[in-house]
């Protein structure tokens, strides 16, 4: 608030009429953006066990902003809200049903705010609502979502953002049996292993160099085989999810690339699409030679439109 005033962005905090708070975990309690009242704040806090790194910090932020801007309207925008349209067979795990009833164990997904924006924006661009869209939010955190007629029908992240494709420091999908196995081998706690899977895996874990895809690409150029393996594994998991959602949707009208890697890495986009050529996806190499720009990059004879769409 001090910087807002000192930099003359506003003369008074009373000028600010609305504050939007991005909340990672809304579970199945919220399927849209809501005005924050005491009940909403309490629910966000109650959901902290599902997002221990994010929701508690969000509660602190909301309380602070409410204190300094009591007359503004405060809204909560949930990363999980867009995914609330998934059917039961998509969000349920084949675990004992009472885990869902007692502890809310199910798929929630994440990055929903981005997936909603990108799918809506491309629908507006094409002037159609009845589209089968696959959105690839590829960055240090990566997730892929299948969208039909404007609604999410499945997404790659799960109970937490650890699941799905390989990421900067997250492992993505693994066989959970390796957790107790490595715990025993290394004498580590569950917390230590989970920390490793969340913060020391993915690009960083495989390459042993960096979590940043730009460093990985530079490493590949220098002949680093572990960097090559890290990127190959990443691309394979991305392609796997796109192919799975292609079948789920009964085809794909639009494939969208967004977020840090999706918007900026022409080589990863090209490699992903190349592996999807058996489904008719084709890239226009010249159009793909761009960073961070809203642009159609599919070839004219591609079975699906392909877009870069900054989120």
Does residue 31 carry a catalytic annotation?
no
Identified catalytic residue from 14, 31, 46, 79: 79
Distances (CA, A) of 40 to 27, 29, 35, 48, 100: 12, 9, 8, 13, 22
3-state secondary structure of 302: coil
Cα–Cα distance for residue pair 27/33, rounded to 1 Å:
13
Cα–Cα distance for residue pair 117/147, rounded to 1 Å:
12
CB distance 286 to 270 below 8 Å:
no
Phi/psi at 77 (5° precision): -110, 115
Which distant-in-sequence residues (6+ apart) come within 8 Å of 32 by Cβ? 81
Across the strands, what pairs with 135? Answer: 145, 256
CB distance 43 to 1 below 8 Å:
no
Catalytic residue list: 79
């Amino acid at each position: 608030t001090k910087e807002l005033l000192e930099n003359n962005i506003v003369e008074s905090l009373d000028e600010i009429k609305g504050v939007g708070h991005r909340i990672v975990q809304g579970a199945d309690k919220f399927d849209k953006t809501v005005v924050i009242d005491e009940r909403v704040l309490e629910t966000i806090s109650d959901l902290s066990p599902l997002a221990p790194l994010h929701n508690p910090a969000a509660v602190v932020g909301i309380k602070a902003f409410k204190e300094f801007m009591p007359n503004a309207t405060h809204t909560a925008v949930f990363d999980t809200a867009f995914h609330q349209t998934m059917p039961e067979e998509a969000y349920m795990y084949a675990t004992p049903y009472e885990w869902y009833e007692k502890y809310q164990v199910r798929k929630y997904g994440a990055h929903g705010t981005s997936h909603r924006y990108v799918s809506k924006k491309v629908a507006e661009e094409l002037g159609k609502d009845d589209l089968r869209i696959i959105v690839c939010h590829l960055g240090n955190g990566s997730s892929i979502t299948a969208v039909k007629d404007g609604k999410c029908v499945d997404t790659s992240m799960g109970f937490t953002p650890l699941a799905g494709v390989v990421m900067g420091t997250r492992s993505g999908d693994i066989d959970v049996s390796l957790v107790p196995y490595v715990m025993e081998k290394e004498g580590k706690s569950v917390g230590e292993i989970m920390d490793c899977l969340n913060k020391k895996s993915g690009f960083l874990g495989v390459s042993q160099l960096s979590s940043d895809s730009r460093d990985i690409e530079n490493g590949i150029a220098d002949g680093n085989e572990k960097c090559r393996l890290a990127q190959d594994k990443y691309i394979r998991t991305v392609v796997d999810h796109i192919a799975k959602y292609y079948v789920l949707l009964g085809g794909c009208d639009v494939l969208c690339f967004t977020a840090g890697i999706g918007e900026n890495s022409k080589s990863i986009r090209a490699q992903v699409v190349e592996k999807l050529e058996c489904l008719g996806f084709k890239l226009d190499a010249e159009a793909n030679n761009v960073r961070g720009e809203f642009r159609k990059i599919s070839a004219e004879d591609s079975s699906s439109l392909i877009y870069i769409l900054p989120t």
